[in-house]
Amino acid sequence: DEMEDIARYTGMPLIERQSLFHALNQKAVALKASNKLNKTYNDLNLIVAHLGGGISVGVHQKGKVIDVNNALDGDGPMSPERSGTVPLGPLYKMALSGDYTLKDIQRMNYGNGGLVAHLGTNDGLEINKRIEAGDHHAKFMVEVMCYQIAKEIGSCATVLKGEIDAIVITGGLAYDDFIIDEIKSRVSFISEIL
């Protein structure tokens, strides 16, 4: 946990943001990026986006992850299996409606959220086949996910005050050209993308 104190606070004093993310993967690819950039990790400012069943986007400043979305608890972009950030008003109304248990809502956030909720699957190959067959809804939902990822990357750029050596993309979804092209189209103005 290397988060700066300023990144921990929320508008509710009883709820603090936590450093819960794909730490080992993010650190490993940050080190690979530093080698590719011919600099040491401790001299770089990077934004690292892990794109898998969950999505975490970390702000790596001079060797420390000073801010990151909590990919497990519903912070940040939606992913193949997770809801990401949702508006609190409708969420607490849903929670207090009596129609859902805590376990139901937790599953909507983690495991049955994101693309699973919208498309019935988290299988990227199946989703790609649906898109290739002309499924406009599947394509749109992947575009929504990419939009949210790009928005999170853009948000992280403000933490580094625009001083970014590279944006690093990793995880299983990094092998999907459509997803990478969608994200690049929105964030390539910020920095080099690895």
Q: How much is the pLDDT for 72?
A: 86
Chain centroid to CA 56:
4
- Sheet containing strand 64-68, edge to edge, reads 64-68, 55-61, 45-51, 166-170
Q: Distance from CA of residue 64 to its chain's centroid? A: 18
Calpha distance 15→11 (Å, rounded)? 8
**Digitized pLDDT (tens) for each residue of the chain, 194 residues in all:** 999 999 999 999 999 999 999 999 999 999 999 999 999 999 999 999 999 999 999 999 999 999 999 988 889 999 999 999 999 999 999 999 999 999 999 999 999 999 999 999 999 999 999 999 999 999 999 999 999 999 999 999 999 999 999 999 999 999 999 999 999 999 999 999 99
Please tell me the predicted confidence (pLDDT) of residue 74.
86
Q: Yes or no: say if 116 and 81 are a contact pair by the CB < 8 Å rule.
A: yes
pLDDT for the residue numbered 58: 98
Output the pTM of the full model. Answer: 0.96
